[in-house]
Amino acid sequence: MADLMTILWNCWNNRNNYIFRGKEEEAKQIWERASNLQREFRICNMLKEPLLSQNKVEKKWKKPPKNFFKVNFDATVGGGGGFEEGRLSVEEAECMAFEESVKVACSLK
């Protein structure tokens, strides 16, 4: 499956080079590049140590200090199930979600 995906990616990349740069490679070159990428990928995966360091950052929710609220909000557009009828940009929807979140937080005091 990985071989197929690599070949398809190289074909797609060749298509983009043809459309945007006017350069096209022969099928043999695409095949050789895909084969080389797969071989290099397999070699890299055989290494015991990762090539890039993996800094693990463990994030854990912390209760806010006394008299503080943590507010999490998000907005969606185009779902048809929201509070605001009409068309909003993503930014407008996020601002409205922020505003409503602040109102709810203030009402909890």
Supply the range of the domain harboring residue 21.
Answer: 2-46
Q: In this structure, is residue 53 part of a structural domain?
A: no
Residue 93 shares a structural domain with residue 67: yes
Residues 4-32: b if buried by 16+ CB within 10 A, e if exposed: eebbeebeeebeeeeeeeeeebeeeebee
**Distances from the Cα of 51 to the Cα of 43, 48, 64, angstroms:** 12, 9, 38
Q: pTM score, two decimals? A: 0.40
71 with 109, same domain? yes
Domain-embedded: residue 93:
yes
Residue 65 domain flag: yes
What are the pLDDT digits (tens) for 20-47?
Answer: 999 999 999 999 998 898 888 888 777 6
